[in-house]
Structure formats: C-alpha cells, structure tokens
Amino acid sequence: MSLIKRILTRLRKSEDGSILTEIALSMPLYIGLLMGVVEVGNYLLLNLKVQHTVVSIADLVTRDEEITQAVIDDIFTVIPQIMTPYVIGEDSVAIITSVSQTADIQATVFWQRSGGGTLLETSEFGAEGDLASLPGAITMRDGETVLATEVFFRYEPLIFSFLPAKTIRRVSYYRPRIGALQQIS
C-alpha cells in the first residue's frame, strides 16, 4: 500500500504535461469557435452577394425607356458573375415584377419574368395580371411604374450540416428612369 501511496503522491506533485492537458481539453472549444466564425462569415458574405445582385438587376432593368425580352435574358445571364463564388442553379432564382397603376386600374402586376436559376419560389407581389401586393410604404400615382426585383437563394450550411437550410430573399424597388416600362417590347 505504501508503494501505491508513493506513486499517487508523486503524480499529484508532478506538473509535467499540465499545459498539454489544458490545451487538449480546450482544443475542441477553439475548433468549434473557428468553424462557427467560418460559417457565419460565409452566411454574411452570401447575404451581401444576394443584396448586391438584386440591386444590380433592378438598376439594369430600369435604365432604358423600353425593355425587350432579349435584354431581360441578358440580365439574367449576368447573375452568375455577380454571385461569384456562389454557384447559382437549383438554389437560386431572380424575379422581376412590373407593377403599374392607371386611372382605371389599381396597382397591378403588368408583367413578370424570372431567371438566373431554377429554385421554385413565387413572387410575393402576385402573378402577372393580378392586383399587386406592395408594402404600404410604396405609393403609386396614375401612369407610374415600380419595378420590384426579388432574388432568392437557398443557403445550406457548409460546416454545421445539422442546421436547417434557409432561403434568403432580398428585394429592391426601383422606378424607371425614363418611360413607364409597362410592357416588354
């Protein structure tokens, strides 16, 4: 018994490896924090990319007096370059909605186009031909148009795959600079 007592006393007084033990115990915490920082940083960058994309699309659509389907198709082909390094496709879609009002017609969706991906999302402003569902802060006068652009991106966590996927939606409202853009030429 005295042998065991001597060994335990020597182990209790020994400080060899105490730093290594503390590092070994705290390393999982540090690795978890690092992975969390990477995940949050990736999510924030994606949000900025989606916001930049929606503003760029709205800006491009409202530049000219008239717009054609070919121009809209060209604008949708630019989305992968704006969203780089994120890959678009089945995880994203952009929807451009033209909402106009005339003396006889309330705010109505005059036309709507989607592209830049195949994610199945619908516009929250309504479908083509329906009365528009605009936020209360947007007021419209007769003959005026508002182009509401929405970009959806389905985000799946990189590291923490146990977290659920989330669809990011960003909206931009622009009024045409010239003309009304009530139809596609």
Per DSSP, the residues of 54-99 read HHHHHHHHTSSSSB-HHHHHHHHHHHHHHHTTSPPSTTEEEEEEEE
Residue written as tokens 């596609």? 184
Per-residue pLDDT reduced to its tens digit, 98-156: 999 888 888 899 999 999 999 999 999 999 989 988 888 888 888 889 999 999 999 99
Residue 1's pLDDT band, with cuts at 50, 70 and 90, is low
Read off the pLDDT of each residue in 4-16 and give the average, rounded to a whole number: 77
Read off the pLDDT of each residue in 62-90 and give the average, rounded to a whole number: 92
Overall size of the chain counted in residues: 185
Radius of gyration of the chain (CA): 28
Q: Domain coordinates of the chain in residue numbers?
A: 2-174
pTM: 0.83
Per-residue pLDDT reduced to its tens digit, 27-75: 999 999 999 999 999 999 999 999 999 999 999 999 988 899 999 999 9
For residues 97 and 72, what is the distance between their CA atoms, to the nearest angstrom? 12
- The helix (H) or strand (E) run that includes residue 49 is helix 18-61
Q: Is 51 exposed, middle or buried (0-12, 13-18, 19+ CB in 10 A)?
A: middle
Q: What is the DSSP letter of 180?
A: -
pLDDT of res. 64: 86
pLDDT of res. 160: 87
